[in-house]
Amino acid sequence: MEKPPLPSDEEGTRMGDSRSEAELLDLGVQGTSGGVASSGDADDRPAWDSKLQYVLAQVGFSVGLGNVWRFPYLCHQNGGGAFMVLYVMLLVVVGVPLFFMELAAGQCIRQGSIGVWKHISPKLAGIGYSSCMVCFFVALYYNVIIAWSLFYMGNSFQYPLPWEQCPINMTTNNTVKECSSSSPTSYFWFRKALDITDSIDESGEFNPIMTGCLLAAWAIVCLAMIKGIKSSAKVMYFSSVFPYAVLFIFLVRGLMLDGAMEGIAYMFYPKIEIWAEVQVWRQAATQVFFALGLGYGSVIAYSSYNPIHNNCHRDALMVSCINFMTSVLASLVVFVVLGFRAKNIVLNCITQNMGLLNDMATHGSNHHWWPWFNMSDPASVTIPDYREWYHHYGSQVGTNITDCDLDEEMSKGVEGTGLAFIAFTEAMAQFPASPFWSTLFFLMLLNLGMSTMFGTMQGILTPLMDNFSLLGRHRTMLTVCSCALGFVIGLLFTQRSGNYFVTMFDDYSATLPLIIVVVFETFAVAWVYGADRFLDDIEIMLKWRPPVLYKYLWKYVCLFAMVGLLAASLLRMVFKRPTYTAWNHTTASETTLEYPGWALAMLAMLILAATLPVPVGYFHSWLKNRGMGPEGELAGQEIDRERYIKCNSSDALDSYSQHTPSVEDDGRPRASFLPLGLDHYRLLPQQEDMEEVEEDTI
């Protein structure tokens, strides 16, 4: 199935020049370093100011909110340390090779996702458009989470925090029932912040405060992205580094809390038997997949602004390691805080039960099961002592006296928004100087979200500007219009039922389409284009050849792993009807509901809209080449691929456009997107447009 090597003629007349590829590369480097002007100077592609800037951008994109509230939850639910070992194994075998593949493709071809996949396989050009669609869907709901962080950060500048205590009903002068039946943090989140309806069927009116926060979030993104990487990279210096400072501060503070060690012990205690469950493998593979940002096109877009000889292999290893260590650091912070919260809940439970036992004592009760510890001083009662007593006599004391189990409280896993906006806020409310810690935490979430949001938007804007010259000439207008469109569509999420749509988009608009995209990416590189040819290109670019192990990982391990993940995800959707978690204000509790028919149709449309570009692109290419013979089709594909080659003069492009690959040419492997210079390039489709602009100017 692997494509034959690119043809070349024996006289070495490729691109109208008798020099070898290595000589052309050297000539391009000398021309650049020597300051020799070329016609491409005016069209230089934007570049990172420094390697640090690029690394911060890649780390900022890959390290997002999922590292804080998704990875700890998966560890919590799937065997703690055993899940981490499984995650590292899948990261090394599947995650790093695919991440390296995207980095190398973007750096070699110097294009966004659309141009890269059009170049590698014109029939699979739809992969790039699917990536853009997924990025757009993700950007829509991701910025809503940033808006929520803005709302909570704004409410953190008051003492006491508004979610510390239940409000009083002014009519009855009693605590609001919905709050007293749940908790102050749950009430503030569902009623004050979201003002949520009981189901997705009840849309409700717009939430004006959240609408304003969403507008502010899109305004921040627009201002940071308005000059491309030149402006967003400056923001990255703060938005990518600040969360690490906050995580370390929280870790040091958390280790001083009572219950921190219990939380860490729960996190790292391995349960190897969990490896026998297919669901755990699926969740670990999915987390690896999303943690590195595979398939979005953002990794490709960022790497396309790199110097051609940048060591992208080292970057892949470094960013992957930083990402994993960040997940571990965030998990430590989450578990020490949840350990503190769980121990407080258990101690309050013991205090409450001691009060009930004291009441029984005042009424003259005296039974053989009477506790041996001092009931009049609940603070002196340890958790092991209470649990030992309850284990022996719990069945005899009646239903009013309950068990107070620390492990049970720790096992109540909270993920996603529930972890950040309910569990964590509840724990921070018990900190001394709680407004300071709350402000710090939500400022961290804001920066984590923003750095990921910048990468997501870059995955949309870069491919569009690279492949449509009109959009490329109006970068500012494209950025502003994209953000304005995102805000208008994002109003869907600021309804009272908006949180349910956020859940829908998060669960279904990206997961399945991204897996499909990465399956086709891997197939295109490993089988259609050819893993050997791809390694040849990387060797010319890096001046050393990556291990041949990557060839077999791309062709077999990664591809089969992604197909398996796709099959598992499809089977789960088929056999388990999609559901969502709703808030019932009457019972003040969360309930699981099935999506109604219209919501399922909307869900299916989201998945189809993101995946259709792949078959549509293939069908369009088939129609385009239907009238050609085998040789003509091959020539059309190779010329289409070479449209993205970098050049130092238009003469080189013109001479190459007259050269049609022949089956008589030598068949040795060659790099089809060999760059001819470090910083000079021109897209052939844009050449005529640029010349017209110059003529108009004259």
666 within 8 A of 10, measured Cβ to Cβ: yes
Per-residue pLDDT of 541-588, as tens digits, reads: 989 999 999 999 999 999 999 998 889 888 888 888 888 888 888 888
pLDDT of residue 240: 85
Least confident of 335-339, 417-421, 583-587, 616-620: 417-421
| Three-state secondary structure string covering 181-245 | CCCHHHHHHHHHHCCCCCCCCCCCCECHHHHHHHHHHHHHHHHHHCCCHHHHHHHHHHHCCHHHH
- Residue-wise pLDDT for 190-217, tens only, equals 988 988 998 998 887 888 999 999 999 9
Q: Where are the alpha helices (DSSP H) in 363-433?
A: 383-393, 406-411, 417-418, 424-428
Amino acid residing at 12: G
Whether residue 641 is predicted with pLDDT greater than 60 in this model: the reply is no
Beta-carbon neighbour count of residue 377 at 10 Å? Answer: 9
Top mean-pLDDT range of 132-141, 354-363, 380-389: 132-141
- DSSP strand E in 194-233: where? none
pLDDT at 389: 76
Q: List the end-to-end C-alpha distance of the chain, in Å, as a whole number.
A: 52
Q: What mean pLDDT do residues 158-165 have?
A: 87
Give φ, ψ of 589 to 5 degrees: -150, 165
The residues, ordered by sequence, that sit 6+ positions from 152 with a Cβ below 8 Å of its Cβ are 193, 421, 425, 438, 442
Pull the structure tokens for residue 282: 């699926």
User: How far is the C-alpha of 85 from the C-alpha of 378, rounded, in Å?
Assistant: 41
Peptide bond between residue 685 and the one before it cis (omega within 30 degrees of 0): no
460 has a pLDDT exceeding 80: yes
Look up residue 295 and give its two tokens.
Answer: 């398939």
Which residues, in sequence order, are bridge partners of residue 175? 168
pTM: 0.79
- Sign of the four-CA dihedral 60, 61, 66, 67: negative
Q: What is the pLDDT of residue 666?
A: 40
pLDDT at 151 > cutoff 50: yes
Residue 645: per-residue pLDDT: 43
Is 80 exceeded by the pLDDT of residue 13? no
Q: How many CA atoms lie within 13 A of 388 on its CB side?
A: 8
647 pLDDT more than 60: no
Amino acid present at 121: S
110-135 pLDDT per residue, tens: 888 898 998 898 888 899 999 999 99
pLDDT > 80? residue 667 = no
Closest by Cα among 421, 259, 405, 432 to 336: 259
Distance of CA 540 to the CA centre of its chain: 31
Residue 623's pLDDT band, with cuts at 50, 70 and 90, is confident
Separation of alpha carbons 57 and 455, rounded Å: 7
Lowest mean pLDDT, pick from 138-147, 221-230, 542-551: 221-230
Distance CA 686, CA 252 (A): 54
pLDDT at residue 85 greater than cutoff 60:
yes
pLDDT tens digits for 258-302? 888 888 887 777 777 777 777 888 888 888 888 888 989 899 999
Residue partners of 598: CB distance under 8 A and separation at least 6: none
Confidence of residue 421 (pLDDT cuts 50, 70, 90): confident
Instruction: Please give the Cα distance from 346 to 349 (Å, whole number).
Output: 5
CA distance linking residue 25 with residue 21, whole number of Å: 6
Position 637 confidence tier, pLDDT thresholds 50, 70, 90: low
User: What does the pLDDT average to over 621-629?
Assistant: 73
Contact (CB, 8 A) for 257 and 340: yes
Average pLDDT of the residues in 148-176: 87
Here the tokens at position 333 are 């912070």
Encoded tokens for 84: 């981490």
Helix (H, G, I), strand (E, B) or coil at 44: coil
Of 265, 244, 349, the residue nearest 76 (C-alpha): 265
Q: How far apart are alpha carbons 537 and 442 in whole angstroms? A: 44
What Å distances lie between residue 352 and 1, 344, 346, 371, 404, CA to CA? 70, 12, 10, 15, 10
The helix (H) or strand (E) run that includes residue 648 is none
Q: In the chain, pLDDT over 90 holds for what percent of residues?
A: 28
What is the β-pairing status of strands 168-169 and 579-584? unpaired
Judged by average pLDDT, the poorest of 139-148, 362-371, 550-559, 577-586 is 362-371
What is the mean pLDDT of the segment spanning 518-543? 92
Question: Looking at per-residue confidence, does 178 or 319 come out higher?
Answer: 319
pLDDT of residue 434: 87
The DSSP code sequence of 461-498 is: HHHHHHH-HHHHHTHHHHHHHHHHHHHHHHGGGGBTTH
Taking only the tens place, the pLDDT of each residue in 491-501 is 999 999 999 99
Contact indicator for 311, 471 with CB cutoff of 8 Å: no
Q: Which residue has the higher pLDDT, 484 or 676?
A: 484
Q: What is the mean pLDDT of the chain?
A: 78
pLDDT at 40 over 60: no
Q: Where are the beta strands (DSSP E) in 51-160?
A: none
Q: Which helix (H) or strand (E) holds 594?
A: strand 589-594
Averaged pLDDT for residues 337-347: 83
Percent of the chain with pLDDT over 70: 78
pLDDT score for 376: 67
Q: What is the rounded distance in angstroms from the CA atom of residue 573 to the CA atom of residue 336?
A: 35
Joined together, the tokens standing for residue 393 give 């006599």
For 181-195, 387-401, 611-625, which range has the lowest pLDDT when averaged over its residues? 387-401
CB neighbour burial string for 561-581, b if at least 16 within 10 angstroms, e if fewer = bbeebeebbeeebeeeeeebe
Question: What is the Cα–Cα distance from 141 to 128, expressed in whole angstroms?
Answer: 21
Question: CA 44, CA 39: separation in Å to the nearest integer?
Answer: 10
For residue 373, the model assigns a pLDDT of 65
